[in-house]
Amino acid sequence: MRCGAFVLLFLILLSSASSVTAQDDNFSNQELELDWEYDFGETYISTKPLIENETLFIRTSTSTSSSAGIYAFDLDGELMWSKSNINSTFNDMSPIIYVEQGQGDCG
């Protein structure tokens, strides 16, 4: 769905703008450019994206028969991996956290 792509675009633009300081007199919002986008289909981004170890993690949910899931992108927008959750309750809203392999309750 286009809503997911729009939200991702907004987050990317927002993160780009956050690195600009008040001392940048020549900066304007018109100078921002879309670096990349991804079409999540009939799903939407359901939680705040997480950036860890130069990887962007996105969690999606759905209100249709499509599977919700989690996606990992490098900072250039290349999909590294994704995992669907066929057991999703359609509107999962739990935040995602990053845990190193071998750490945490799940191993």
Domain ranges of the chain: 1-17+35-107
Q: What is the per-residue pLDDT across 14-25, written as a single tens digit (0 to 9) for each?
A: 555 444 444 555
Q: What is the per-residue pLDDT across 55-104, written as a single tens digit (0 to 9) for each?
A: 999 988 877 767 778 899 999 999 999 998 777 666 666 677 777 777 76
Q: Which residues pair with 61 in a beta bridge?
A: 44
SS3 labels along 48-102: CCEEECCEEEEEEECCCCCCEEEEEEECCCCEEEEEEECCCCCCCCCCCCCCCCC
pTM of the predicted protein model: 0.60
